[in-house]
Amino acid sequence: MLISHEFPPDSGGAGVVAYQNAIAMSSANVNVTVLTRHQCFNHQPYQNLNYILYPCLKNFWPFFLILYIKRIKLINYDLIILNDSFANLVFGSFIKNREILKKTISYLHGGEVYQFLTRPGFYARLLRFKSKYLNFLSNVQKIISVSYEMKIRFIKQTSFKYEDKIVVVYSGVDDNIFRYKYFNLKRHLNLNIDKTILLTVSRLVHDKGFSRMIDIFSQIVSRNPNFHWIIIGDGPYLQDIISQLKKKSLISNVSIIGYVMRQELPLYYSNSDIFWLLSPSESFGLVYLEAQMCGCPVIGNNIDGVNEAITDQTSGFLINSNEECIKLITNYIFNELDQKSIIDCTTSFKLSHQIKELIHILD
């Protein structure tokens, strides 16, 4: 059983991992049952894959989730995978049966320390999960970290004593979807043929580095007005982004597309000149790999798990300053990278490869 509050299309990176893992494991003849919310759910039945959907009324979702968990005979499942922090919060607060915990796998995506320990949210405080979280992890079978950086950071921040329980399995990318696909993107967006396209795919939230990127883009355009920035995604920070772009008179240099289905993202990745996202913190960063699989060079901060997703100077660039980023873009240094080499750097991150590792660990 895989339990995940986040699930596409209404989700972030953790939801994408849940969906990809469910589909890939079921394709490998593993029977998978997914417990997730029914909000925005529109997935078709799939071989070896079943869904149990719980209601998601605003502010009451934890009560529905635990109600449905309690209804399920967990003891009948070989494994229980807690995919996101929401699933860990509810499951870890209410499930005490050690036999069930011994067959439970908990995911570390990156925000758990912040959400549960350093600045716990409302429900974490209500359920007193801060005092329970590490004890809960000490009783599960395994903990899966999405990057080596995430594992090291988690152990350092928490002084977790059961280091051997934490195994690293990268979140793979489906190369059946993410591959080069030609599309006349400039004509689609009514852009001049001489425009150089920068692309960002991200949830539009404060902690993705958009304010910094807007400042950098302003300097780029002041040096060369032929750059155009495409932003794909939605989220609560949208109006702030629009306001900042207007203040810097950049709104005509930017196309904000909104939500795009995953199957359509390769059309944007493949036909953009460079992908950039300067998040101040990333446990890994699937979008960098998605772009690279489509042959698009990438720019990311030289931090955290981004170091594991980008091969510096080969598939993209790890930057340490604004000026370094501006120089890379305005001098078209990204054009020096070979498209085949960019794609080759993603071989070990293919979903099929990572699922084999996951299944091997779960056996």
**What is the Cα–Cα distance from 35 to 3, expressed in whole angstroms?**
5
pLDDT (0 to 100) of residue 110: 85
User: In the chain, where does the domain assigned CATH 3.40.50.2000 lie?
Assistant: 2-174+351-362, 185-345
pLDDT tens, position by position, for the chain (363 residues)? 999 999 887 667 889 899 999 988 998 889 999 999 876 566 666 788 999 999 877 778 899 999 999 999 999 999 999 999 999 999 999 999 999 999 999 999 988 988 999 999 999 999 999 999 999 999 999 999 999 999 999 999 999 999 999 999 998 999 999 999 999 999 999 999 999 999 999 999 998 999 999 999 999 999 999 999 999 999 999 999 999 999 999 999 999 999 999 899 999 999 999 999 999 988 888 999 999 999 999 999 998 889 999 999 999 999 999 999 999 999 999 999 999 999 999 999 999 889 988 888 887
- What angle do helix axes 85-94 and 61-71 make, rounded to 10 degrees? 60
pLDDT (0 to 100) of residue 111: 86
Alpha helices, DSSP H only, in 263-350?
Answer: 265-270, 286-293, 306-309, 322-330, 339-344
pTM: 0.90
Q: For the structural domain made of 185-345, what CATH number should be given?
A: 3.40.50.2000
Q: Into which CATH architecture does domain 2-174+351-362 fall?
A: 3-Layer(aba) Sandwich (3.40)
Whether a cis peptide bond, with omega within 30° of 0, leads into 45 is: no
Instruction: Provide the sign of the torsion angle of the four alpha carbons 115, 117, 121, 122, taken in this order.
Output: positive
CB 265 within 8 A of CB 232: yes
CB 314 within 8 A of CB 349: no
Strand-pairing partners, residue 3, are 35, 82
